[in-house]
A = this chain, B = another copy of it.
Amino acid sequence: MSDCNTCVVRNRAICASLTADEIQLLGQLGRKQRVAPGQSLIWEGDESLVVANVIDGVFKLTVSNVQGKEQIVGIVFPSDFIGRPFGEHSPYSVTALTEGEVCMFTRQSFDNFARQHPELEHKLLHRTLDELDNARKWMQLLGQMNAEQKLANFLLVMSNRLAGQSCAIADPSEGYTLPFGRQQIADLLGLTIETVSRQFTKMRGKGIIELPNRRDICIRDRAALEILAA
């Protein structure tokens, strides 16, 4: 059982739709669990046994083809929901990219609870519709952008989700630490690691971004980046 009253995502996760009484019931079904980078919670194709709210950390959703090439089909941040409710199987894997913590439920207990609490289902529907919009936006990126546009859009999207974190050099509001290595950026954008690296180098050469180390990004000229992204 989880103590929902002290939960840092209490008012941002789907739990926000519940009353104090209801959330206590739900809390009894869930349990908090810490996860390490690289740890998977759900595997592509496996039976869908658990769902969870993300309390802390960043996760990736991935599908792989037979040759093992990986496509990242979603990124999950704190207060987001993980897993496939109302379905026998999960069509994607869920893996932690950073240290993190989740509030986990068995799928069945969550499904049952949700069916009895329309407000919760409504909130989940809202989120799922938003996720679908995001996925379709990303299809546009994968389908019709070149490498430069893909990377520029990626940097801008990440900036929106991760803004305000430390940046080793410039204006802190324009710097953040990526939760990805180069290979994962490639898997997300449908490129190779070499192409990603070259595009980074090119943007740094133009003075648009700064790369103080392997994981940090500083946006020096956001306007220029937005032009590249269009």
> How far in angstroms is the closest Cβ of chain B from A46?
14
Listed by A's residue number, 9 A-B pairs whose Cβ atoms lie within 8 Å are A63-B139, A65-B145, A71-B139, A71-B143, A71-B144, A73-B140, A118-B118, A125-B128, A144-B190
Q: Which of B86, B91, B92, B145 is A125 in contact with, Cβ under 8 Å?
A: B86
User: How many chain A residues have a CB neighbour from B under 8 Å?
Assistant: 39
A115 in contact (CB, < 8 A): yes
- A66 and B73 CA atoms in complex are apart in Å by 24
Residue-wise, chain A 121-165 has the 8 Å CB interface mask toward B (1 for contact) of 110111011011101111110111100000000000000000000
A74 interfacial contact with B, CB 8 Å: yes
7 closest pairs, A vs B, by CB? Answer: A143-B190, A118-B118, A142-B142, A73-B136, A135-B135, A71-B140, A71-B143
Residue A230 CB within 8 A of the other chain: yes
Residue A214, interface by CB 8 Å? no
A206 near B: Cβ within 8 Å?
A: no
Complex partner residue of A124 from B73, B125, B136, B189, CB under 8 angstroms: B125
| CB of A61 within 8 Å of the partner chain | yes
